[in-house]
Amino acid sequence: MTAPSSTTTSHAVDAYTAAQQAQDAAVGHSSRTFRVWRGANGEGDFRDYTTEAMDGMVVLDALHQIQAEQAPDLALRWNCKAGKCGSCSAEINGKPKLMCMTRLDELPADEPVSVEPMRTFPHVRDLVTDVSWNFRVKPNITRFTPRAPDAPDGTWRVDQRDVDRVQEFRKCIECFLCQDVCHVLRDHHKHDEFIGPRFLVYAAALEMHPLDVADRTTQLKEAHGIGYCNITKCCTKVCPEGITITDNAIIPLKERVADQHFDPLRALVRLVRGKKKPG
Amino acid sequence: MTQPVVQLRRRGFGETMRRDAWWLPPLGVFVVLSSFLAYATWAAFQNANYEYGNYLSPFYSPLLFGPPPHGWFARAPRWLASISPALLILPFPAGFRFTCYYYRGAYYKAFWADPPSCSVGEPRKGYLGERTLPLVLQNVHRYFLYFALLFLLVLAHDAWEGYHFADAAGGMRFGIGVGSLVLTTNVVLLGGYTLGCHSLRHLVGGYLDRLAGRPARRTAYDCVSCLNRGHMNWAWASLFWVAFTDVYVRMCAMGVWHDWRIL
């Protein structure tokens, strides 16, 4: 087999470049202004940057472009650019969103796009916040506690439909947008008394698991402050994974807490049957 | 290197970077719920024009004390005689709606601005949530549900009676009037709302981690979950229609509207 001559290669590259240029020319270009929060440690203000936007661009692309061309010191957190790592959470036009999943053509073209950091967490710099509080909360939730194995070989038998119920909660990518929008944390700063929607989903995944036998209801009521949730459903609205946080996780947990702590009839039934946690 | 970290300044009431008409849904909830409350209170105190032939307004059903065909007992005790029959029964459906998980979220926003809308600044710094009195009493919702289920049976019976008209010979004859359909739609919408209740979903099977081997519970849980997904729509549709049913019966009783017989 002979290698292609340099003339053939050059023609191929030219054809490729020409095709690329034709493709680029076919893509719509427009100028967009971004109003980006700049500052550190809670202090700062919005600064306007105008940049070239192309069809299909997302907010994260535009910010990278601004970072490359105008503001090399702009701090922002990102990783996968595919809506799966949960790193690029921010507030775009006032709504908590993933920057990598927010297309520019979804946003009004006639006004600047505002981008600011999440307000629930301590501000570090520009669009970066310190979300480490979340990682300190998680270990305080009673761990998965499986029942004794069903078979002598140490395995369990579980109905797929029972697993499906908690599978929804496992889609969480820990972007913490639900924590950001929750007014109990965002406006009332109850970080010491309330674990927030993300960890109520986590607790629901454990509490409703068909193998789990631990009872977290007292913990949810007392230490985790589930009573602070007033069911605004904002967490459900911002979840990029579409988890029905309020209806499928928080309200069922509230009902379980009501069973244990606020329902005299249930208490009577438990007393008669002598059963702690229903299967 | 660690650095001091501070949260951004807390936003004031109504302050937000949102560009959409975020105030529209809470305003809509405020207007519709206030209008319903005003009308229902007025209608409950009227103590008149709540029945028309075989039709009975849902605001007055069950009619505990009153003449046949709708009254359960002919005479009320003397101490109750002057009270509108609606006032004896309305606290139960009202309590069911007031403690409903969907309505709670809606009216906390619309009437108490807590928050006015998602990621919009609030008027107050203090917050107790549903942890302490009075809002911890919202946990009574399941008890109102038990009453709501009984009321559903009564309203279904009323709808059935709505198809039976008195004939010239003094007997009852099957027929269909517009009012029959109005009463039937009412019980269907209320059924969709009540049977999709979050508490019912919990009670029929949600409290269990394993539904395998419990086919009846599994079916009930799946059915309630299905209705629960549209709980908001059922809530508004049934609220509107229950008020309209009262208006329909009232207008017929006052002679303003004529009940058109289809069959």
Residue to test with chain B: of A251, A256, A261, A270, most B Cβ within 10 A: A251
Q: Taking residues A121-144, what's their average pLDDT?
A: 97
As separate numbers, helices (DSSP H) first and strands (DSSP E) second, chain A gives 11, 7
Q: Of A121, A225, A230, which has the smallest distance from its Cβ to B108's Cβ?
A: A230
Residues of A in contact with B126 (CB under 8 A): 188
Predicted local distance difference test score (pLDDT) of residue A17: 85
d(CA B38, CA B41): 5
Query: What's CA A28's distance to the chain center, in Å?
Result: 31
CB contact under 8 A, A237 and B118: yes
Residue A8 confidence (pLDDT) above 80: no
Hey, which bits of chain B come out as E strands? Answer: 51-52, 55-56, 164-166, 172-174
Lowest mean per-residue pLDDT among A79-88, A218-227, B40-49, B72-81:
B72-81
d(CA B149, CA A174): 40
At A149-170, the pLDDT tens digits run 999 999 999 999 999 999 999 9
Q: Where in chain A is the domain with CATH 1.10.1060.10?
A: 132-273
CB contact under 8 A, A255 and B115: no
d(CA A221, CA B198): 19
Residue A2 confidence (pLDDT) above 60: no
Amino acid letter, B15: E
Residue B255 confidence (pLDDT) above 60: yes
**Which percentage of chain A shows pLDDT scores above 90?**
84
Q: Taking residues A117-124, what's their average pLDDT?
A: 96
> Is some CB atom of chain B closer than 8 A to the CB atom of A214?
no
- What would you report as the CA-atom Rg of chain A, rounded to the nearest whole angstrom? 25
Residue A250 confidence (pLDDT) above 60: yes
Contact A92, A102 (CB under 8 A): yes
> Is some CB atom of chain B closer than 8 A to the CB atom of A122?
yes
Residues of B in contact with A162 (CB under 8 A): 209-212
CB contact under 8 A, B218 and A161: yes
At B155-164, the pLDDT tens digits run 999 999 999 9
Side-chain half-sphere CA neighbours of A118 within 13 A: 30
For the domain with range A29-121, which CATH number is right: 3.30.565.10, 3.30.70.100, 3.10.20.30, 3.30.1490.20? 3.10.20.30
Contact B157, B56 (CB under 8 A): no
Predicted local distance difference test score (pLDDT) of residue A275: 63
CB contact under 8 A, B209 and A208: yes
Residues of A in contact with B208 (CB under 8 A): 278-279
Q: Of B108, B121, B129, which has the smallest distance from its Cβ to A227's Cβ?
A: B129
pLDDT band at B3; cut points 50, 70, 90: very low
Residue A274 confidence (pLDDT) above 90: no
Predicted local distance difference test score (pLDDT) of residue B135: 95
At B198-207, the pLDDT tens digits run 999 999 999 9
CA distance readout (Å), A130 to A87, A134, A198, A263, B5: 11, 9, 16, 40, 8
CB contact under 8 A, B119 and A247: no
Residue B137 confidence (pLDDT) above 60: yes
Residue to test with chain B: of A168, A254, A276, most B Cβ within 10 A: A254
**Which percentage of chain B shows pLDDT scores above 90?**
86
Predicted local distance difference test score (pLDDT) of residue B2: 46
Amino acid letter, B241: W
Residue B43 confidence (pLDDT) above 50: yes
The first and second tokens of residue A175, run together, are 């972007």
d(CA A183, CA A178): 10
Q: Of A94, A159, A279, which has the smallest distance from its Cβ to B119's Cβ?
A: A94
CB contact under 8 A, A252 and B3: no
Lowest mean per-residue pLDDT among B17-31, B56-70, B152-166, B182-196:
B56-70
∠ CA(B110), CA(B112), CA(B117), 5° rounding?
A: 50
Higher pLDDT, B67 or A201: A201
ipTM of this complex: 0.94
Predicted local distance difference test score (pLDDT) of residue A278: 66
CB-based burial of residue A274 (10 Å sphere; 0-12 exposed, 13-18 middle, 19+ buried)?
exposed
- In a 3-state reduction of DSSP, which class is residue A277? coil
- Could you tell me the sign of the dihedral formed by the alpha carbons of B162, B165, B171, B172, in that order? negative
Long-range contacts of B234-238 (CB under 8 A, 24+ apart): B234/B189, B234/B192, B234/B193, B234/B196, B235/B97, B235/B100, B235/B102, B235/B103, B235/B193, B236/B32, B237/B189, B237/B192, B237/B193, B238/B186, B238/B189, B238/B190, B238/B192, B238/B193
**How far does B9 lie from chain A, in Å, by closest CA?**
7
Predicted local distance difference test score (pLDDT) of residue B163: 97
- Chain A contacts in chain B segment 140-169 (CB below 8 A): 140, 142
d(CA A227, CA A204): 15
Backbone angles phi, psi at B133, to 5 degrees: -60, 140
Mean of pLDDT over chain B: 94
Q: Where in chain A is the domain with CATH 3.10.20.30?
A: 29-121
CB contact under 8 A, A161 and B212: yes
CB contact under 8 A, A111 and B19: yes
> Is some CB atom of chain A closer than 8 A to the CB atom of B199?
yes
Nearest in space to A261 (alpha carbons), one of B207, B139, B225 = B139
Q: Of A116, A159, A183, which has the smallest distance from its Cβ to B122's Cβ?
A: A183
Nearest in space to A259 (alpha carbons), one of B197, B142, B105, B224 = B142
Contact B136, A262 (CB under 8 A): yes
Residue A260 confidence (pLDDT) above 90: yes
Residue B50 confidence (pLDDT) above 60: yes
Residue A1 confidence (pLDDT) above 50: no
At B203-221, the pLDDT tens digits run 999 999 999 999 999 999 9
CB contact under 8 A, A262 and B109: no
Contact B139, B212 (CB under 8 A): no
The residue of chain B nearest to residue A256, with distances taken between CA atoms, is: B207
Contact B204, B224 (CB under 8 A): yes
Q: Taking residues B174-186, what's their average pLDDT?
A: 97
The residue of chain B nearest to residue A259, with distances taken between CA atoms, is: B207
Q: Of B119, B131, B139, which has the smallest distance from its Cβ to A95's Cβ?
A: B119
Higher pLDDT, A42 or B253: B253
Residue A115: in which H helix or E strand, if any?
strand A113-116
Residues of B in contact with A220 (CB under 8 A): none
d(CA B184, CA A198): 42
A64 C-beta neighbours (distance < 10 Å), count: 18
Given this structure, which CATH class describes domain A132-273? mainly alpha
pLDDT band at A249; cut points 50, 70, 90: very high
pLDDT band at B113; cut points 50, 70, 90: very high
**What per-residue string of b and e applies to B125-145 under the rule 16 or more CB within 10 Å gives b?**
eebebbbeeebeebbebbbbb
Residues of B in contact with A279 (CB under 8 A): 208-210
Residue A26 confidence (pLDDT) above 80: no
Nearest in space to A35 (alpha carbons), one of A10, A4, A71, A77 = A71
**How far does B152 lie from chain A, in Å, by closest CA?**
22
**How far does A23 lie from chain B, in Å, by closest CA?**
34
Predicted local distance difference test score (pLDDT) of residue B168: 85
